[in-house]
Chain A
Amino acid sequence: MTRVLVVEDDTWLADSHGAVLQNAGYEVETIPHPLAVMDAIDAVLPDVIILDVLLGGATAFALLNELQSHSDTQAIPLVLCTNLAEQLAEVQLEAYGVKRILDKTTMHPDDIVAAVKAVAE
């Protein structure tokens, strides 16, 4: 079963993403604080990471750098799910393993399933 790690500090949005992904048959873990992300990855290496950009305590960009610095995490496909989508360019983030950018303000809940399916294959 494909394992998805959702890094999102808004509990209700994280629950929503989790419920939609679980209904689609994915194994989901949600992490609210970026400081706990590396521990969660150490415990269970995810197949896909869904990442919010503005997180309490750090930005996703710090985490992107961290993930790229480890050989076992640099290949994990990432989906950014953010309110800042209009300010980000997918092409500039490819080097950091970002395969998709979802705009929270326009996405449909099912878009997260489509994104995970696309990048996990």
Chain B
Amino acid sequence: MHMDGGDSRYEVTPLIAAAHELKAPLALVRQLALRLEDTHLPKAERQRLLRQTILTTERALRLTSDLTKSARLEDALFTVEPINPEQLCRDIVAELTPLFEAYGREVAIEGRKHPLLLVANRDLLRRILLGFSDNALRYSLPGTAVHMQIKAFKKAGIVRIGVRDYGPALSSDMWRSLQKKLRHAPQTIHARPESSGLGLYIASQFADAMNGRIGAIRHKDGATFYVELQASMQMSLL
């Protein structure tokens, strides 16, 4: 055991990382269920614990679904199509709002005056953005809003969708560790402070499958995780 948290003896496979990532929600669900066994709990508290149990289970199931999808990426054919990212983000905001509200946070989209289209597989892009949003929920401060942002880089023909959270600034060490996670497979459990990087690894695989890439921007009050994909030329042909 190394007290500096830098033990690199363990090579963590995606399987081990997945087991580790699922431990936290399963442990939480178990704690909530054990508390629900208390017959003296007030009704409102019982309802709150039940709601938390359901939402935590849904988060864990999203991860298992992403893992399955990620493992089968090479065997599958993906249809890419022109997609309006703003509409997709609106759907995601609607889906995640109950979870964010239960945690005392908001999720919102920064709308655009002029609509954009990008080329992507709708399901994979949705999974990437759900993963970024889940990550933002964890690292944002209570009472803050997570923002989904869409930006066009016209010269490069790229559209970037970012998920911006507002929380404590990332230290330089954490930033370097994060950059590693963006480039490589899941890191050793002891080499990272709070997550195995599995979510980023999966997001990176999904982006690769669509000829896109993921990245991160460090802010003094949080971070933005983004995915970049090819812009669709369809609008310009109209």
Chain A residues at the B interface, C-beta cutoff of 8 Å: 9-13, 16, 19-20, 32-33, 35, 54-59, 61-62, 64-65, 83-84, 87-89, 92, 96, 104-105, 107-109
| B28–A13 CB distance below 8 A | yes
**A-side contacts of B56, CB under 8 Å:** 12
Q: Is the interface of A mostly helix, strand, loop or mixed?
A: mixed
Chain B residues at the A interface, C-beta cutoff of 8 Å: 1, 3-5, 20, 23-24, 26-28, 30-32, 34-35, 45, 52, 56, 103-104, 138-139, 142, 167-168, 170-171, 174, 189, 193-195
| B23–A56 CB distance below 8 A | no
Q: Is the interface of B mostly helix, strand, loop or mixed?
A: helix
How many Å from the CB of B77 to the closest CB on chain A? 38
Which residue of chain B lies nearest to A107 when distances are taken between CB atoms in the complex?
A: B31
Task: Knowing A11-B142, A109-B35, say if A87 contacts B1 (CB, 8 Å).
Answer: yes
| B194–A10 CB distance below 8 A | no
**A-side contacts of B20, CB under 8 Å:** 83
How many Å from the CB of B3 to the closest CB on chain A? 5
**Whole-angstrom distance between the alpha carbons of A56 and B138 in the complex?**
8
| A109–B23 CB distance below 8 A | no
**B-side contacts of A56, CB under 8 Å:** 138-139, 167-168, 193-194
